[in-house]
Structure 1
Amino acid sequence: MTVLNQALAQQVLDLVDRIPRGRVASYGQIARLVGRPRNARLVAKIISQAERYGGHHPCHRVVNAAGRLAPVWPDQEALLWAEGVDCKKPGVVDMKLYQWEK
């Protein structure tokens, strides 16, 4: 991994750490906040590999722009529910109610 990618990964995960309990952010929102507005997929990849960077990050608080949860992470909905985030239908968070305003 290049130094640039390592630094970007750290920026992304630092932002993920700042998402409050009971709130969610989208991959695109995180990408914009780190100055890479066209790189939502890269943010998703970094988040999917968060364990490589050490520490514990609340990655379950990041969803896609429509509020859909990660299809390969069956525990994500339960983790969000435990923080008070209800899904408006299975696997979809109501972004109007729960999006982190940063």
Structure 2
Amino acid sequence: MTEKGSNFFEKVYDVVRKIPYGRVCSYGLIARYLGSPQSARMVGWAMNASHIKEDVPAHRVVNRVGLLTGKHHFEGTNLMQQLLENEGIQVKENKIVDFDQCLWNPVENLPNIT
């Protein structure tokens, strides 16, 4: 991984650490907050690599419609879902129930970084 990519990953992890308990964020919203709206997939790659960062709540990052698209990167069959449900988030058929109510937007909740 390049130094630039590594730096982007660290910025992603900093944002993900700020997602409140019981809330979720999307890959695209994180990319937009970081000033790279076309980099949602790169945010996903950062989440896939986050297993080495125990303090990153990667389970709180889902796709733009609330699907648990990263769940296969967690140990166990339903660990991502179990972690979300432990925080009071309902999941049905791999999708967040009441997604709009659970969604946390860093653009609206964190200081502007650009």
The residue aligned with 1:46 is 46
- Residue type matched to 2:93 in 1? P
Deviation of 1:59 (Å): 0.2
Deviation of 1:55 (Å): 4.1
Distance (Å, rounded) in 2 between the aligned partners of 1:66 and 1:36: 19
Give the structure-1-normalised TM-score.
0.90
Offset from partner CA, 1:42-89 (integer Å, 9 cap, x none):
11011101134x4421000000001000251421111000001112x2
Distance (Å, rounded) in 2 between the aligned partners of 1:59 and 1:12: 10
1:77 corresponds to 2:76: no
Moved over 3 A (4+): none
Give structure 1 stretches of 5+ with no counterpart. Answer: none
Matching of residues 10-49 of structure 1 within 5 Å: 10-49=10-49
Distance (Å, rounded) in 2 between the aligned partners of 1:43 and 1:78: 22
Deviation of 1:90 (Å): 2.1
- Residue type matched to 1:27 in 2? Y
Distance (Å, rounded) in 2 between the aligned partners of 1:101 and 1:64: 13
Q: Alignment identity in percent? A: 36
- Residue type matched to 1:64 in 2? N
Give the structure-2-normalised TM-score.
0.81
Distance (Å, rounded) in 2 between the aligned partners of 1:44 and 1:101: 16
- Residue type matched to 2:49 in 1? Q
- Residue type matched to 1:38 in 2? Q
Q: CA RMSD in A?
A: 1.4
Give structure 2 stretches of 5+ with no counterpart. Answer: 107-114
Distance (Å, rounded) in 2 between the aligned partners of 1:101 and 1:2: 28
